[in-house]
Each structure stands twice: as C-alpha cells, then as structure tokens.
Amino acid sequence: MLQRELAIALRARVTWLVAALGALLVGHGFVLAVDLYTAGSRSVADSVLMAREFDPLAGVVRPTLGGLYLAVSLLAPLVAARPVAVEKERGSLGALVLQVGSPSRVVLAKFLASLAALAPLYAGALAPLIVWRALGGHLALAETLTALTGHALYLVLVAALATAAASWTATVAQASTLAIAVVLASWAIDAAEGFAALAWLGRAADWSVTTHLTPFERGTLALGGVGWFLAGALGLLALALVGARFDMPRGRRAAWALAALAGSACALAGASRVRPAWDLTEARRASLPPAAVRALRALRAPIEVELWLDRDDSRRRQVESDVLAKLRLARPDVALTAPLDDREAPTEGDRDDGYGRLVVRVGGRQTETRSTSRRELITLIFETAGQPLPDWSQPVYPGYPRVVAGGARRGMLAVAYGGVPLALLALGLAVTRPRRRPV
Amino acid sequence: MGVAGAAVEARGLRLVRDGRRVLDGVDFEVFPGEVLAVIGPNGAGKTTLLECLVGLRRPDAGSVRHGGRALQALGDFARVFAFMPDDAPPPAEVSVATLLAHARRCGEAPPALAAELTDRLGLRPLVGARAGELSRGERRRVALFLALALERPVVVLDEPFGAFDPLQLLDILAVVRARASAGRAVVASVHQMTDAEKIADRVLLISAGRVVAFGTRAELGLRAGLPGAPLEETFLALLGGGGAGAPA
C-alpha cells in the first residue's frame, strides 16, 4: 500500500517544484542571516566580550529555519494534500477504500506518503546548515537538533492538516486552500500582538504555532510543545479519518467530526499546560545561572508573577522571552498572570499609576518592581522568600563570530540560490520522468 | 427473508438528491456464477445504483444484503464487493507493476489467477509503464484487473466495456465471463445493448431511478411483446420508444 502511495507523492512534479521553491526561500533567509552575522562579526574582531553575543543559533539557524517555516506554511499543503485529494478528484478513492477494506488504513498510508513528499522540502533546509559548517561556522549539535525537531513537528502538523482538509473537500485546490487558510488563522493570532484590530485574538496565543515553535528555536526542548504538535497532528488525523468515512450518514459524520475537534481542542489545551522543558543550548545559556536554578527549585513556596503590562508593550515581550522563559525552565510551576489582558480594547489613556508593575508573590509575601531586568526580578523572588540571592555566575558562552566573505561568500550564494534548488529540481526530473515503454 | 442462494440482494434502494429521486425503490438480486447487466438510458441512475450497492453512497432507504445480513459499515461492503468505477483512472504516477502488486496483496488473489488475468487482459507489456502513460483502453484493462483480482464474492463493474475495440472486447468479455464461471457474481452497467446481449445472464433495466424490467433476455422480450427480438429493440419498447409492451 505504501509503495503505491509513495509513488503518488514522490513522482508528482509539484513535490519537487515545491521543494526547490522552499530551498530558495530557505537559502535566501540563510544568505541574509550570514551577511548580517558577518557584518556584526567584523566589528567585534578584537573584543572577546562582544564576541560572546555572537550566537549562531539565533543569528543563523533561526533565520534560516524562518524560510522553512514560510515554505511549510504556504507551500507544503499543496504537496501534502495531494495523496488524498488527487484520488478524490479522479474518483478513484472509493474503489481504493473498497480494495483495501479500511478507510483508516488508506488515510494513514496517504498521511505517511505526505510526510515522505515533504522530506525533500525539509532536506532543502538542512543544506544551508551544512554549508555554514563547511564555511567554518559553528553549530552546537544539541541546540541545532532541537530547533530542527521543532520544525519537523510543525511539518508533521501541516501534513496532518492538509490530509484532513483533503478528506473533507473534493479537489486538490480546495484542500490546499483550506489548509493554507487554517495556517493563516494561526498567523492572525501572532499578528494580534502588534495590531490593535486583532487584539481580541491575543488571548488565543496558546493556539498559535509560533508560541509552541519559539522554545525549540531557542534550543529548549519543551515537553508541552512536543505534546501540542503531536496532539494537533493526531486530532487532525482523526478528523481526516472521519472525513474519509463516506459510508456514514452525514449527521453522524458531522457529530464524529465535532467530537474529534473537541477532543483535539482539549488535548491541545492540556498540552499547553505541560510546563517541563530542558535547556539543550550550549553553556545552558537559555537558563538562569545554575546556582539560581538550584536555589529556585529548593524554594518550597509557590511563586506567582503578576505582569501589569499590556500585551503590545515591548517591555512585556522582553520580560516574557528573557526572564519568564528562563524562570519557567527552573520552576515550571511558576504562575503567571497579566490582569490587563482582561480589559476590552485597552488604550494608552487607560494606563494608570499602577501600570508597568511586576508583582512577585512567594508563599504569602508580596513585593513589586518596575524593572524588567532578569537579575532584578530573580533577586526580588529571593528577597520575597527571605533568602539571599545565590551565586549569579554562569558558564561562559564564548560566542562564535564568523566572517564569510570573498570566494566563500560567492560559493555560499551559488549553493543557496543555485546548487540546492537545482539539485532538487534535477532529482525531481529524474524521479518524475516518464519511463520508456517497452515496445 | 432473503432470496435463497443469492450472492447479494438490493432491497428498496431509495436515494433523493436535490429533491430528485435518483433511485426509487430498486430491488434485485444476483446469484453466484451469474452476470447481471444493468442497462438504462443516460441519467437513469445506473452509476448511482452501483455506488449504493457497493457502499460508496448511502441510500436514504433500503438495504444491501449478503448472506441474509444487511451490510452496514464500509468494511462489511469491502468483504463482499470488488468495484471498478467508471471514468476513474488509476493514479497517473504509479507504475502498472505497483498497481497490480497492490491489487494482488489486497485481494489475496492466488498467484495463478493473478498471472492468468495479467495474460488475458494483455497487461504484461504494460507493467513497466506508469498509469499516466497508458491509453484509455489500457487504463480500463488495468482497472479491470484491480477489480477482478480481488477474491470477493461480488464483482461490480461500471461501464467496463466502453473503451475497447471489437477484437479486444471479445477477450474482455471472455475474462469477465470466466470470473463468473469461477463462482463470482458479476454486476455490470452496460451502455451498449450488444455488449449486454453477449455477456448477461439477466438484465436489470432502470429508468429515472426505477426498475422497468428485471429478468432474462427472453423474459424481457416477452414482457415487451417482442419475443426473440434483439435487446436493443426490447430496450426501446420497454422504455416507450417503440414496440409493444411499453410500461404504463
């Protein structure tokens, strides 16, 4: 069964065209990132301290994978929907289901084929990282693999989404459009952060792909993130299975679809609440200093942080990404509330004297600050708990500035804009080319 | 109560779509070893009837019974039917060899049967090609293999003979007849009356979703008042297009 489905997925020209286009997007992101990284690296040539800021994960890997994210979001549905949708379009799905005897086996085989069809797209994103290494750039294995794992999970989610969309629509075009529309809905949630008209969507941040992908891109392996992507993919596969049950009466099929949606919504909500995560970055730079982590874990009392900052306030984003993300790595149970999020249509005029406070509660005691500094907030937690601030020293991350210029840069451009996309196209041509029929 | 010995029975199949009765109480049964031709004018509901029969469409009323039991889930239908849809080409990207191997595995066809069908349907020269490179007639031969190689009690074929020249048609009719002789019940919708005449043991004539006549060719001829007449004349007479015995 899989052999048949793999042929449908891999011998389609669109599979390789999408892979080549994806490789161009990824390659472009990579070239821009390396040029920026090079410009910065030149200016820190003589400063060890400034060199420590040069982090290839943030400076090269993440922007490169940004191209993959775009390609997976907008192009992958065209490929992943095909194995189911093309047979529906041609009218052969029913006969196949009867032949195999089980709609679920057919849908699962087609989902696996979708994943295989997206492998060339994903491989196109690995090539620039190999080029980076060949150019002498640094990549820490664990953190890079973590970032790649996040994007692989996203790929699985989009493949399941496209399969589900294909099960409920009649043509490849309809299925791809539906899947891309759902991806765009997730983007709308992300846009809510800086766009007042979509501010009402801000509360749905837990439903955004970016929310769950970001920790991976920062080198932290979040159990909740893994669970969220897998729960989403399984929920969508359940929806795809229901969609393929054309023997069911419409009412019963709709009821099962609603049950699958409700079940996945519960699973996604549950996964969002799973906090444990592991910092896999080199020198554990995504974490607080080791002594602080140990001391925070030794505190028995629950920790609560109240943020009196609006969602679109840049200080809030800084606190969340720099301070609270690290605090949660040490203490996954930390409770975070943002009371201002409950206001309808907040405006700057509504901000009173209490705006900008960070209130810390440890056990029954409470203190507050207006500073958004990491050290200040952690100090406050220990002060509130009546404990001294532990040793704040952190393993030194040496930083890896790298200048890519001259012939090396020309080689990089050739590979990113020519070599990888053309290699994928050539491979596609070889795989999809009609065979000479025996006379 | 079912008809004793029937491979499959359709009882009271009714389907309404957009306010139109596509099937209106269709009853028939088919026995092992028998070829039943479903004939009727364009839009009579032949394809819809076959899709309801094999479980790909759910009728609003009525049932399909096998072994005295009404079939419900798609899995039940899959155990009973092999189906060749009309105008549904196999996926263009898949090689004929892969399609044949897949059908053999799904249908648990004995190697001898698979080899015989491959030869008799003239597929051996095509195994290296992909489905997208085949002519219409070649695609139909592959599709026939996919249905006939399944070891299921009832083989349902939607317009299986339309794409062949007279020479090929003789071979194809013989292959289908051989499967029936091996104990399968065959239900085939047939557009050309001459084809139906050559292959059918009994004929089900439907029009506007209703059964106009059901029986052997001789019985239909008698009903039309044209004993011994070619099926085409009987068809026209029963549908009111001429001849005696047109339905009221």
Give the residue extent of every domain in chain B.
Answer: 8-215
Six-digit token pair at B21?
């009765």
3-class secondary structure per residue, A56-102: HHHHHHHHHHHHHHHHHHHCHHHHHCHHHHHHHHHCCHHHHHHHHCC
Are the C-beta atoms of residues B90 and B97 closer than 8 Å to each other?
no
Residue of B nearest to A438 (CA): B125
The per-residue pLDDT for A318 is 86
CA distances to A121, A307, A311, A344, A360 from A339, in Å = 42, 7, 10, 11, 14
The pLDDT > 70 percentage for chain B reads 96
Residue B62, chain A, CB below 8 Å: the answer is no
Report the CATH fold assignment for B8-215.
Rossmann fold (3.40.50)
* Domains by residue range for chain A, with CATH: 2-278+402-432 (no CATH), 287-384 (3.40.30.10)
Rounded Cα gap, residues B66 and B73, in angstroms: 13
A114 and A29 Cβ atoms separated by less than 8 Å? no
| CB proximity B83 to A under 8 Å | yes
The pLDDT assigned to A160 comes to 97
CB A307 within 8 A of CB A337: yes
Cβ-defined contact of B56 to A246 (cutoff 8 Å): yes
Structure tokens at B121: 């349907």
> Which DSSP letter does residue A203 get?
G
Nearest to A228 by CA among A268, A260, A189: A268
Question: Which DSSP category does B241 fall into?
Answer: S
Across the interface, whether the CB atoms of A95 and B101 are under 8 A apart is answered: no
The predicted structure's pLDDT at residue A319: 87
**Residues of chain B where predicted confidence (pLDDT) is lower than 70:** 1-2, 241-248
Full strand arrangement of the beta sheet holding A358-362: A335-337, A303-307, A358-362, A365-369
Q: Are B137 and B164 in contact (CB under 8 A)?
A: yes
- C-alpha distances in Å from residue B134, one per residue of A432, A436, A437, B139: 16, 12, 10, 6
Interacting residues of A248 by C-beta distance below 8 A, sequence separation 6+: A242, A256, B58
Which parts of chain A sit beneath pLDDT 50? none
- At which residue do the structure tokens 């692989």 appear? A152
- In the structure encoding, which two tokens stand for residue A206, read together? 């837990």
Per-residue confidence (pLDDT) for residue A221, from 0 to 100: 95
Nearest CA in chain A to B102: A1
- CA–CA separation, B222 and B232 (whole Å): 14
pLDDT at A351: 66
Contact B88 A8 (CB under 8 A): no
List the single residue in A3, A99, A435 with the smallest CB-CB distance to B103.
A99
Structure tokens at B110: 């004995």
pLDDT for residue A173 = 95
Q: Please give the structure tokens belonging to residue A196.
A: 């007042």
The DSSP-derived string for B66-127 is ETTEE--SHHHHHHHEEEE-TT-PPPTTSBHHHHHHHHHHHHT--HHHHHHHHHHTT-GGGT
Interface of A with B in 139-198 (CB under 8 A): none
Of the candidates B74, B78, B94, which has its C-beta nearest A7's C-beta?
B94
Best of B74, B133, B134 to disrupt the A interface (most A CBs within 10 Å) is: B74
Residues 29-88 of chain A with CB under 8 A from chain B are 86-87
Q: What's the ipTM?
A: 0.87
Is B94 in Cβ contact with A98 (below 8 Å)?
no
Query: Count of alpha carbons within 13 Å of B175, Cβ hemisphere only?
Result: 27
Contact between residue B12 and residue B54 where contact means Cβ atoms under 8 Å apart: no
| Model pLDDT, residue B246 | 37
Question: Which amino acid type is present at position A130?
Answer: I
Report yes or no: A274 and A215 within 8 Å, Cβ to Cβ: no
Q: Within its chain, how far is the Cα of A147 from the centroid?
A: 8
Task: Spell out which residues of chain A touch residue B84, defining contact as CB-CB under 8 Å.
Answer: 95
